Structure 1
Amino acid sequence: MDITGNTIFIPGATSGIGLALALALRERGNTVIVGGRRTELLERIAAEHPGVETVRVDTTDPDSVQTAAKDVISRFPAVNVLVTMAGVMRVEDWHRPETFLESAENIVTTNVLGPIRLIAAFVEHFQTLPDATIMTVTSGLAFTPLKITPSYNASKAAMHMLSETLRLQLADTSVKVTELVPPAVQTDLLPGHAENEQAMPLDEYVTEVMGLIETQPDAREIQVERVKFLRYGEARGDYDQVVAIINETDPHGR
């Protein structure tokens, strides 16, 4: 993906990494459309950041995804980048179903079915363009599990493999598939996580991501240095040690 000159739809960008990335991309000369469920947040973003467009979308609702996609494509026919940012993370105890089942279902619906629905809504349009990008959002926890977030880990692992497979299937089209792989970042993904000193500061993360997009426009995965500890534990042969370290020292890791 080129760093500038795109029209980018980012559902799930009303806060955290999504909003910070949206603003950084806007500053680099892209048209950016932020999507989210809460109208009041979208209105605030539009007021505080002139030039950023907004669309209401609930990725857990198939009808909402279809309506939002039609709206975006109608208003911004040049839209050529989709960033499937929307996601949730929950602490779960899998010893008894009443402590995890509802949470697990919600996470799978948001983190897996949501991106699938979004991709389904845009993939045909993207194939009519000379250059388009689907950017999925996974996590270092797709590769090394955090004990307290089993459904989140699994959802991100599923999205990693989906990204790998879509890249193969869409190789005969103009559509690129890029995977954004964050480490633990200081956001409100979990309560109190924005103050987690072991997590990467949000501004540092987005700055490094923007640099990688600029210097590696054809990258399959956008990996900041800090995520490689989780990403490559198995390849390095120290997977068991990595698992032990993050589960001893990072109770709210991403």
Structure 2
Amino acid sequence: MRTTGNTLFIPGATSGIGLGLARRFADAGNTVVVGGRRRAQLDAVVAEDPRLAAVEIDVTDPASVASAAAEVTRRFPAVDGLVIMAGIMQTEDLTSPDFLATAERTVATNLLGPLRLLSHFVPVLSRQPTATVMTVSSGLAFVPLPGTPTYSATKAAVHSLTESLRVQLAGTGVAVVELVPPAVQTGLMDRLAEDPTAMPLEAFLDEVMAILADQPDVEQVLVERVKPLRFAEVDGHYPAVLARLSGR
């Protein structure tokens, strides 16, 4: 993925990693369109940083995704990058039937959302000379956090989906990149922004942009902090890492 001269659509970029990446990509000389569910948040983001454009989108609503895709391609016909940031992370107790509503919301956002976006944007991107799809999984795709089982499962699915997408797009001009964050100090979950064990957001963004600049053909963007999760099974540390994440 080249780091400059792109026209990028980043749904899920009104806060956290998504907004941070949007600003970093704008800094690097890209046209950046952020997407989000709430018009007020989008307006605030653009007011704070007029370099960014905004499109309203709810990835859990097929009609909203279709409308947003049409708007993006109409307003920005040179769009050649999709960064799928939209996601939610909530705790669940699988031993209680009350978990199901949370699980369904998580699947609708974290898995169906990317699938809907891909269905609209892969044909558009495929018409460009070169283009990029960036998915966002998690270190928890490789070792689950038992307290957030559906989140972990959807991120494992996103990883698998990304691998298949890359194979199916081989030979085209569309590159497929998987961003694999560790725990980062954002508002994704309660208290995560203040969690001293999570990676500071700006440090994460620094390392991600450096990797993209140094390795334009990278398939997985792995900061150092996520490697113990990513390679836990390969290194034989999976049981110990899972126990740590379980609080045991």
Give the shorter-chain TM-score range.
over 0.9
1:230 match: 229
Report how far residue 18 of structure 1 moved. 0.3
Amino acid at match of 2:19: L
Amino acid at match of 1:32: V
Alignment TM-score, normalising by the size of structure 1: 0.96
Deviations 1:160-201 (A, max 9, x none): 000000100110211111000000000111111100000000
Report how far residue 30 of structure 1 moved. 0.2
Amino acid at match of 2:96: R
1:7 aligned onto 2:7: yes
1:233 partner SS = coil
Amino acid at match of 1:83: V
Two-structure CA RMSD over aligned residues (Å): 0.8
Detail structure 1 runs of 4+ shifted over 3 Å in the superposition. none
Q: Distance in 1 between matches of 2:46 and 2:221?
A: 28
Q: Percent identity?
A: 54
1:49 match: 49
Alignment TM-score, normalising by the size of structure 2: 0.99
Report how far residue 50 of structure 1 moved. 1.2
1:215 aligned onto 2:220: no
Q: Distance in 2 between matches of 1:199 and 1:146?
A: 14
2:66 partner SS = helix
1:64 match: 64
Report how far residue 53 of structure 1 moved. 0.4
- Higher alpha-carbon deviation: 235-244 or 179-188: 235-244
2:143 match: 144
1:246 match: 245
Q: Distance in 1 between matches of 2:115 and 2:63?
A: 13
2:171 match: 172
Q: Distance in 2 between matches of 1:27 and 1:57?
A: 24
1:94 match: 94
Amino acid at match of 1:110: T
2:247 partner SS = helix
Structure 1 segment 159-198 matched on structure 2, within 5 A: 159-198=158-197
Report how far residue 248 of structure 1 moved. 2.4
1:172 partner SS = coil
1:204 aligned onto 2:199: no
Q: Distance in 2 between matches of 1:51 and 1:181?
A: 27
1:252 match: none
Q: Aligned pair count?
A: 248
Deviations 1:76-133 (A, max 9, x none): 01100000100000100010212x1000000000000000000111111111111011
Amino acid at match of 1:48: E
Q: Distance in 1 between matches of 2:67 and 2:245?
A: 41
1:27 match: 27
Amino acid at match of 2:212: I
